[in-house]
Structure 1
């Protein structure tokens, strides 16, 4: 089923980054007392000149979906090891390195996907040229992928909701 999805907007991504970053402080401050061990480094890192160069290299290397380019124009990476099972949006340099090493992943009947994120259990998230986000069924580049979100925006909204739910 093809669902028309609006393209990702950089202002929306910037707002998402600010909201999640603001929610992390109050969430992590009582973490040690609540869980008995210190939190990991939970951070939403904004894009830098270096990450913009890495995004340009990624665009030259892969058939990168436009939403992924928009995402990386605003943020460099996300590391949320203490949210649910953990969420990690890889840096564009890491995505390029993985693409060189493993290539694209096959996602259902769509064009091959580019792995751009993972969770704390080793499951991978890939985005296809359609913009849909797929999750590996196992912690492997070579097994099946199932639908995770209709777009990168919906994927980020799901992560944001997990942050909110955990607070």
Structure 2
């Protein structure tokens, strides 16, 4: 994961959030939550993920950004810190798609986002589904590939933030 890309992503998303927050309560009728793009994860946190076989791009991301919290963008979007990633109950997906995965993000509507373990591609959207012994199963058509890789997911998240800041309508992710 390119450090310059992460810096641009952080700047773009921060600018959109900064545009959104003034007047947020008047526009939406409730006060905004706390929107954050955290600093780097510690080496111990990164090492704790080793058994999960996280893709190199995810580790590169965590070396620059530990977590992201965007609670008011649509239903909310969250990229989880390594400590939360380590304790996710889903490690494999089965059904329309099959892969070993690392769940690293969620939306405020109960959906999860997972990247394929080891290879780092693609990123899957996991709507609510059955989880037994770490295996997520679903035939829901929303269980699908949302991006070809982590960078594609981050691009789509940035785009969703931009659309929401400009229009107040949730972007597609």
Q: 1:26 and 2:24 equivalent? A: no
How far did residue 115 of structure 1 move? 0.4
How far did residue 109 of structure 1 move? 5.0
1:95 to 1:39, Cα distance in 2 relative to 1, 3 A: same
- Which ranges in structure 2 are unaligned for 5 or more consecutive residues? 166-173
**Which residue of the partner structure matches residue 105 of structure 1?**
92
Residue by residue over 1:84-121, the C-alpha shift from the partner in whole angstroms, topping out at 9 and shown as x without a partner, is 221100001110122xxx25122555530110000011
Residue by residue over 1:24-73, the C-alpha shift from the partner in whole angstroms, topping out at 9 and shown as x without a partner, is 11211110111111011111112143xx32012112x2111111111111
Give the number of the structure whose residues are more often strand, by fraction: 2
Q: 2: CA distance between counterparts of 1:48 and 1:109?
A: 31
Q: 1:56 and 2:47 equivalent? A: yes
Q: 2: CA distance between counterparts of 1:160 and 1:33?
A: 24
- Which ranges in structure 1 are unaligned for 5 or more consecutive residues? 1-7
- The answer (yes or no) to whether the contact 1:125–1:136 under 8 Å persists in 2 is yes
1:120 to 1:140, Cα distance in 2 relative to 1, 3 A: farther
**When the two structures are superposed, what TM-score results if normalisation uses the length of structure 1?**
0.84
Q: After TM superposition, what 4+ stretches of structure 1 lie above 4 angstroms from structure 2?
A: 107-110
**When the two structures are superposed, what TM-score results if normalisation uses the length of structure 2?**
0.81
**Which residue of the partner structure matches residue 72 of structure 2?**
82
Q: Trace 1:61-72 onto structure 2 (pairs within 5 A).
A: 61-72=51-62
**2:30 counterpart (19, 30, 37):** 37
